[in-house]
């Protein structure tokens, strides 16, 4: 088991769980690649994949919220927007500085903590609401 493995709850919507596990696996892979001293050219495609996965996943969650009339959509959407802005800024900074240590610390701590907290709060509530609506 990877030392970077995260523990987070399953939510009531399958595609969300699948995406969360894919994201966690990508994060683990990135951390392993950085720890192995891989060159920037080996990190770049994984970071780009993490970013595009997140963009697509957030859009899918936002569509689910809109389709089911989730009442606090703006709050959940707002957190997605700030996370994406931070991710884009961190990636841009890494491309500019080549500071693998800063990238590693951000992925290990900020991204890991955010993922677990977000799934346990907003995603859990959103999925429960959506599953209730769709199961009616």
What is the contact surface with Fe ion in residues (CB under 5 A)?
61, 123
Structure tokens that stand for 127 in this block: 């999925």
Cα–Cα distance, 119 to 60 (Å, whole number): 15
Of 28 and 61, nearer to Fe ion (C-beta) is 61
Cβ pair 11, 130 in contact under 8 A? no
Cα–Cα distance, 40 to 63 (Å, whole number): 34
> Which residue is listed with tokens 């720890």?
35
Minimum distance, C-beta of residue 115 to Fe ion, in the bound complex (Å): 10
Of 23 and 94, nearer to Fe ion (C-beta) is 23
Minimum distance, C-beta of residue 58 to Fe ion, in the bound complex (Å): 6
Minimum distance, C-beta of residue 65 to Fe ion, in the bound complex (Å): 9
């Amino acid at each position: 088991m990877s030392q970077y493995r995260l523990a987070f709850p399953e939510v009531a919507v399958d595609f969300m769980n699948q995406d969360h596990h894919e994201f966690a696996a990508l994060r683990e892979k990135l951390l392993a690649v950085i720890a192995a001293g891989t060159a920037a050219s080996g990190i770049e495609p994984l970071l780009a994949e993490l970013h595009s996965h997140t963009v697509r996943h957030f859009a899918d969650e936002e569509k689910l919220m809109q389709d089911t009339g989730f009442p606090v959509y703006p709050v959940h959407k707002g957190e997605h927007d700030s996370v994406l802005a931070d991710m884009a800024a961190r990636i841009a900074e890494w491309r500019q500085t080549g500071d693998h240590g800063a990238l590693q610390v951000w992925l290990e701590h900020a991204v890991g903590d955010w993922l677990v907290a977000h799934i346990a709060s907003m995603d859990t509530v959103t999925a429960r609401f959506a599953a209730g609506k769709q199961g009616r």
